[in-house]
Amino acid sequence: MIPSVLPTYNRAPFSFVKGEGSWLIEADGRRFLDLGAGIAVNALGHAHPALVKAITDQANALWHTSNLYRIPNQEALADRLVEHTFADTVFFTNSGTEACELAVKMARKYWYEKGKPEKTDIITFDGSFHGRSAAGIAAAGTEKMVKGFGPLLPGFVHLAWNDWDALEAAVGETTGAILIEPVQGEGGIRPLPDADLKKLRAFCDDKGLLLILDEVQCGVGRTGRLFAHEYAGIAPDIMMVAKGIGGGFPLGAVLATEEAASGMTAGTHGSTYGGNPLGCAVGCAVMDEVTAPGFLESVNAKAGLFRQKLEGLVADHPEVFESVRGSGLMLGLKCKAPNTDIVAAGYDNLVLTVPAADNVIRILPPLTISEEEIAEAVTRLDAAASAVESASAAA
Ligand SMILES: *Cc1c(COP(=O)(O)O)cnc(C)c1O
């Protein structure tokens, strides 16, 4: 009999009932060190006092009015994002995949209004992930996400990751934009080198294409900059944001330049909940914390420490791990043993990690993780790796 919850997830058998900073507490009382942060969502950890206060104050004042009216803290959050990024304007969504929907619509509308309605195609890359909506799955094109869900939204051209000849050959009359994650998350923590992102920007300028970045997972301080593309010293035309921006409240955004957003006039897009007072109260508090003096410096310092310790872990367990990769606190361990075995051994040692494609385990801790917690995390991962070694020796 089908469970009351539609069985689309393979869930680990834990029911967490409380969160404290980098820790999740199971119903039975066990304390897990959380290196997944709800898939890079709990950027400030669990129950951060500033976020608890922001949502509690807002809950006592007003929950929802709809976008029929002005929403003051939506305007405040948009102002903060505009102040700290390339963007001139922001639309709020409730998720990353809704941000993808708008990014696609915005690019198409841009070219339509420019008198080039044929420029509907968006180039995307292998291993990418843009969410589970109709546009999101068509954009990524991954077999396991699209199979059985056709006909897919047309207008996406899928290329191998980082194949410049294929890219050059793929651009034609109907090409309107390139969509890419600066650091692939689901694809296995694959950072696009800064030089390549620079080159991609120049390529878009040269060919007259919009550059859309998906920073849903790598944004909001995750890599040690507010947004990952800042390392390359470039700016996109359109950017998708979600996950960390809400710190655990469902919130997403599309950021754009005035030019790229020029087709999106009143009535062309909307959302009942998008940018609601609760989400934007939390979003403002997240932005205040992440842009506070010293915050990103501390992320970078901790990222350096974590990475160094993970290099040691890989050296100590050459049968289990191959290498460390990633950027900032968006780290990946490329595995030799099956990644799901290592994640499961982590569960036994009360440490939570997240599997990704390419046999990688993701390490996406709260950006507020302490140095002591990083040391503890590596101790637990070390025990997990030893358990995987003994199991394979016994087999
Ligand atoms: C998670 C993710 C999405 C989808 O976000 P949802 O909030 O799950 O819809 C899109 N792009 C990237 C890069 C993501 O990591």
Cα of 181 vs centre of ligand 1, distance in Å, is 10
Beta bridge partners of 262: none
Q: Is the pLDDT of residue 161 over 90?
A: no
Output phi, psi for 183, to 5 deg. -130, 115
Where helices occur in the chain by DSSP H, the ranges are: 37-40, 49-61, 72-84, 96-113, 134-140, 143-146, 164-170, 194-207, 277-290, 295-316, 339-348, 371-394
Model confidence at 3, pLDDT cuts 50, 70, 90, reads very high
pLDDT of residue 280: 98
Cα of 17 vs centre of ligand 1, distance in Å, is 24
- Amino acid of residue 46: H
Q: Please tell me which residue, 212 or 162, carries the higher pLDDT value.
A: 212
| Count of C-beta atoms within a 10 Å radius of residue 171 | 18
Q: Is the pLDDT of residue 245 over 90?
A: yes
Model confidence at 168, pLDDT cuts 50, 70, 90, reads very high
Tell me if 133 CB under 6 Å of ligand 1. Answer: no
Q: Domains of the chain by range and CATH? A: 49-290 (3.40.640.10), 293-350 (no CATH)
Longest dimension (CA), the chain: 67
Average pLDDT, the chain: 97
Cα of 260 vs centre of ligand 1, distance in Å, is 22
Tell me if 332 CB under 6 Å of ligand 1. Answer: no
Average pLDDT over residues 113-120: 98
Model confidence at 395, pLDDT cuts 50, 70, 90, reads confident
pLDDT of residue 131: 98
Cα of 38 vs centre of ligand 1, distance in Å, is 12
The 10s digit of each residue's pLDDT in 326-374 is: 999 999 999 999 999 999 999 999 999 999 999 999 999 999 999 999 9
Q: Decide: pTM greater than 0.85.
A: yes
Tell me if 97 CB under 6 Å of ligand 1. Answer: yes
Beta bridge partners of 159: 125
